[in-house]
Amino acid sequence: MFNEIKTHEITVDIVILTIKNNSLQVLLIKRQNEPFKGKWAIPGGYVRMSENLDEAAMRVLKEKTNVDNIYLEQLYTFGDPLRHPISRVITCAYFALIRSEDIEITSTPDIDWHKVSNLPPLAFDHKEIINYSLKRTRERLEMCPVAYQLLNEKFTLTEMQKAYELIMGKSLDKRNFRKKALQTEGLVELNEFSKTSSKRPARLYKFETIKLNSKRAHFIKKEKK
């Protein structure tokens, strides 16, 4: 039905955030072609005639990074006439938070994680796009427990708190955090303990089936019994 060869000058670009080595990191690709050849960029590519924007974002991400099967959310559409130095390219940006354990990056030097606090020079307006995704992530975090997207399947409350602190860029009170965290809907207390720490082991938790409701206060609360 559609001619798959012809493409609009509309692209999708995808910001993938994770927590690695105790810092918030973003997945970047070193560009192989002009413009900005050799510069780092977030994964992106043209939208095909037959696919909608969500599908395009998913396909492009898979093609470029082999990352599959994650929840992408539309972020914002950037359309400055000068954002692309050669032609007029409007890009619809997407973003996602993922567990770093969940993806295997084919270990080439051209695809790698970078700390958002220390980004290399980026192609196009990708710095602006990443900054906007951080802003959006913080807003999300205040409404629902996005952290489950970032944590390993089993995690300690301290790890969960670290994730929140990294995203929000500020430290939180342990007791208050735990009180609220324990009210999170879907949080399950396990009878297992972390063995990584050299001192007192911490209890492990996990999330049961995630129902990400649209909007709640800071944490999604368990039903009262």
Q: For residue 141, give the DSSP letter.
A: H
Shortest distance, position 14 Cβ to DNA, whole Å: 32
What letters, b where the CB count within 10 A reaches 16 and e where it falls short, cover 30-43?
bbeeeebeebbbbb
According to the binding rule CB under 8 A, does residue 141 interact with a copy of itself? no
Q: Pick left, alpha or beta for residue 36 (phi over 0 → left; psi -120 to 50 → alpha; otherwise beta).
A: left
Closest CA to 67 of 109, 15, 117, 12: 15
Q: For residue 92, give the DSSP letter.
A: E
According to the binding rule CB under 8 A, does residue 134 interact with a copy of itself? no
According to the binding rule CB under 8 A, does residue 52 interact with a copy of itself? yes
Q: Which of 35, 38, 79, 169 binds a copy of itself (CB under 8 A)?
A: 79
Q: Which of 4, 63, 68, 80 binds a copy of itself (CB under 8 A)?
A: 80
Binding site for DNA (CB under 7 A): 156-158, 173-176, 178-180, 197-203, 217-218, 221
Per rule CB under 8 A, count of chain residues that contact a copy of itself = 23
Pick between residue 30 and residue 140 the one whose CB is nearest to DNA: 140
Whether the CB-CB separation of 13 and 43 falls below 8 Å is answered with yes
d(C-alpha 39, C-alpha 28), whole Å: 10
Q: For residue 217, give the DSSP letter.
A: S
Residue 182, number of CB atoms within 10 A of its CB: 13
According to the binding rule CB under 8 A, does residue 51 interact with a copy of itself? yes
Q: Which of 8, 174, 221, 222 binds a copy of itself (CB under 8 A)?
A: 8
Whether the CB-CB separation of 220 and 145 falls below 8 Å is answered with yes
Q: Which of 37, 63, 69, 77 binds a copy of itself (CB under 8 A)?
A: 77
Pick between residue 3 and residue 196 the one whose CB is nearest to a copy of itself: 3
CA angle (61 as vertex; 148, 216 as ends), nearest 5: 30
Between 145 and 184, how does the x/- string for binding to a copy of itself read (CB under 8 A)? ----------------------------------------
Pick between residue 68 and residue 142 the one whose CB is nearest to DNA: 142
Shortest distance, position 200 Cβ to DNA, whole Å: 3
d(C-alpha 23, C-alpha 133), whole Å: 16
Point out which residues bind a copy of itself (CB under 8 A). 2, 8-10, 47, 49-53, 56, 74, 76-81, 88, 90, 92, 139, 215
